[in-house]
Amino acid sequence: MTTATAQPARPGFTRRSWARIRLLKESPVGMIGAFLVLFWVLVAIVAPWIAPHDPNESNMDALIDPTPTAVNWLGTDNQGRDILSRIIWGSRTVLVVAPIAVIVAYTLGSLLGLLAGYYRGWVDQVINRIADIILSFPAIILYIIVIMRLGPSAANIIMAVVFIATPQIVRIVRGMTLELREHDYVAAAKMRGESPFYIMLAEILPNARGPLIVDACLRMGYTTITIGVLGFLGLGLPPPDPDWGGMVKDTYAMMTIYPHMSLFPALAISSLVVGFSLLADGIREISLRD
């Protein structure tokens, strides 16, 4: 009679991983963050149906009294456009540009970080030197240079974020790869004759997912701030497309007279950034419990 030999559990995304996600409900901080993020995601999805006005429609009559009214709940801006409608439509910009930029940056950064940490030697030296050169410049200066060179648009903002965020992700993934490559399951994979790319993508990367997910949530917040800052500097989406940072810039001169014009877009940016930060804290808290 042949006795079945129990195979060691292989690392990866298992039922235990889904259990960790469900544990998020046990973290009040994480739940608040998830609620804020999901709120803006839903707002972005249903924007065409819930926006009370055309975001680019100017109502000259509203300029007589741009403060909040029953018609314009959050008031109007300096061009008579409904602030609530522009905030609702502006959420689409952030929640399309930021995730795409972070996903692309993580794809490139993870691949390069894995290569640098796994192979070491000259591969590590080349990737690290390129990352060092990019990281040696202040991020905001690089953003301004890239956007001014390419022109303000959603695609160019994504390219700028990817260019600047990728070296930071490379450093994180490289450091984790240097540690994880020494574990027994990596040695076992090598003994089975697995290819280096299999080992990096199926053995090392899944075991680094916890800190990387936390960093990705925080990076989504950083990217949201970056989009707002670029919009405030006039390097965001070209007008008249709704842009939270651009809304603050357009009405900043009237801050002392009609503070609501800049306050509400700034609150929208802050709430989404806080949501991502609290969500990252909740995920970190769950990881520490495990």
Q: Using one digit for the tens of pLDDT, what is the confidence trace for 201-259?
A: 888 998 888 889 899 999 999 999 999 999 888 888 887 788 899 889 888 878 888 88
- Which range is least confidently modeled, 1-5, 63-67, 120-124? 1-5
* Range of the structural domain that residue 214 is part of: 27-47+75-289
Give the DSSP H or E segment for 98. helix 83-119
Asked if the structure places residue 165 within a domain, the reply is yes
Widest distance between CA atoms in the chain: 91
Give the up-direction half-sphere exposure of residue 209: CA atoms within 13 A in the CB hemisphere: 14
What is the model's pLDDT at position 21?
A: 58
Alpha carbon 185 to its chain centroid, in Å, reads: 31
Cα distances (Å, whole numbers) of residue 202 to 13, 111, 158, 207, 251: 10, 12, 28, 9, 50
Any idea which residue has 């050169």 for tokens?
Answer: 133
Q: Is residue 265 pLDDT above 70, yes or no?
A: yes
Asked if the structure places residue 258 within a domain, the reply is yes
Asked if the structure places residue 111 within a domain, the reply is yes
Asked if the structure places residue 7 within a domain, the reply is no
Q: What is the CATH number of the domain that holds 114?
A: 1.10.3720.10
Provide mean pLDDT across the span 102-122. Answer: 93
DSSP, residue by residue, 115-155: HHHHH-HHHHHHHHHHHHHHHTS-HHHHHHHHHHHH-SSHH
Asked if the structure places residue 55 within a domain, the reply is no
- Contact at 8 Å (CB) between 241 and 93? yes
CA-based nearest residue to 273, from 210, 218, 234 = 218
Asked if the structure places residue 230 within a domain, the reply is yes
Asked if the structure places residue 63 within a domain, the reply is no
| Per-residue pLDDT reduced to its tens digit, 35-91 | 999 999 999 999 999 999 999 888 888 888 888 888 889 988 888 899 999 999 999
- Contact at 8 Å (CB) between 272 and 256? no
How far, in Å, CA of 269 to CA of 250, rounded?
15
| Per-residue pLDDT reduced to its tens digit, 139-172 | 888 898 888 888 888 899 999 999 999 999 999 9
What is the model's pLDDT at position 271?
A: 95
Q: Give the chain's domain count.
A: 1
Provide mean pLDDT across the span 260-285. Answer: 92
What is the model's pLDDT at position 263?
A: 92
Provide mean pLDDT across the span 91-108. Answer: 94
What is the model's pLDDT at position 51?
A: 93
